[in-house]
């Protein structure tokens, strides 16, 4: 190697060292930045996990039809764990009674339900209330109860217009008399 080649090589090494230390500094900032973003992303993921499952668009559309057009008497919603979302399980036609609605809820599985309750006030006025029911029977699996409980608030936020909320573990806790007293 010539003297000129040695100087050039030496200058390249110095330049590389400067670039390397700058990259180390920038790299550590990027590393810290990545750690920060990973922390933010994991926090958001944790918040979403705590707030519940995704809500299928059909759930909102059917609820709007119940609320605005009164197309249904009730809607029963189910969490599909594999799809990680809340879906519509059953739609009740306007002619169905409250007894048919309560019989539609499974005895050993959790569900969400919305019921369009019509009643007459003491002043003889016809009124209607949209009732949200979180059905969590004692015989349901603990995991299912936990998933439904942690998803309830987020799901309810998606259904704008709920006027009364009930949480029931047994049919007597959501009887017609309970609904009437809560609707006034």
- What is the 3 state secondary structure string of 86-153? EEEEEEECCCCCHHHHHHHCCCCCCEEEEEEEEEECCCCCEEEEEEEEEECCCCCCHHHHHHHHHHHH
For residue 4, report the phi and psi dihedrals to the nearest 5 degrees: -65, -40
The whole-number pLDDT of residue 52 equals 58
The pair of three-digit structure tokens given for residue 181, joined into one six-digit string: 């007293």
Eight-state DSSP code of residue 171 = G
The answer to whether residues 111 and 105 touch, using CB atoms and an 8 Å cutoff, is yes
The whole-number pLDDT of residue 53 equals 86
Rounded to an integer, what distance in angstroms lies between the CA atom of residue 36 and that of residue 56?
Answer: 31
pLDDT in tens, the chain (184 residues): 555 555 445 554 444 444 444 444 444 444 444 443 343 333 333 334 444 589 999 999 999 999 999 999 999 999 999 999 999 999 999 999 999 999 999 999 999 999 999 999 889 999 999 999 999 999 999 999 999 999 999 999 999 999 999 999 999 999 999 999 998 8
The whole-number pLDDT of residue 92 equals 97
CA distances from 137 to 12, 14, 19, 80, 109 (A): 74, 73, 65, 18, 7
Rounded to an integer, what distance in angstroms lies between the CA atom of residue 66 and that of residue 88?
Answer: 13
The whole-number pLDDT of residue 30 equals 44
The whole-number pLDDT of residue 124 equals 93
Q: Which residues pair with 75 in a beta bridge?
A: 91, 114
């Amino acid at each position: 190697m010539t003297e000129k080649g040695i100087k050039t090589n030496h200058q390249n090494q110095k330049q590389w060292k400067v670039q390397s230390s700058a990259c180390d500094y920038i790299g550590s900032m990027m590393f810290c930045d990545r750690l920060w973003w990973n922390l933010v992303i994991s926090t958001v993921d944790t918040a979403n996990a705590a707030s519940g499952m995704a809500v299928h668009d059909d759930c909102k559309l059917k609820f709007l039809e119940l609320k605005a057009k009164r197309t249904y008497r009730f809607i029963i919603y189910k969490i599909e764990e594999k799809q990680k979302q809340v879906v519509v399980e059953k739609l009740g036609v306007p002619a169905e009674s409250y007894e048919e609605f309560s019989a539609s809820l499974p005895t050993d599985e959790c569900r969400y339900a919305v019921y369009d309750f019509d009643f007459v006030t003491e002043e003889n006025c016809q009124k209607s209330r949209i009732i949200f029911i979180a059905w969590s029977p004692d015989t349901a699996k603990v995991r299912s109860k936990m998933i439904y409980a942690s998803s309830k608030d987020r799901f309810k936020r998606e259904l704008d217009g709920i006027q009364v909320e009930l949480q029931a573990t047994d049919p007597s806790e959501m009887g017609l008399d309970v609904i009437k007293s809560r609707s006034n």
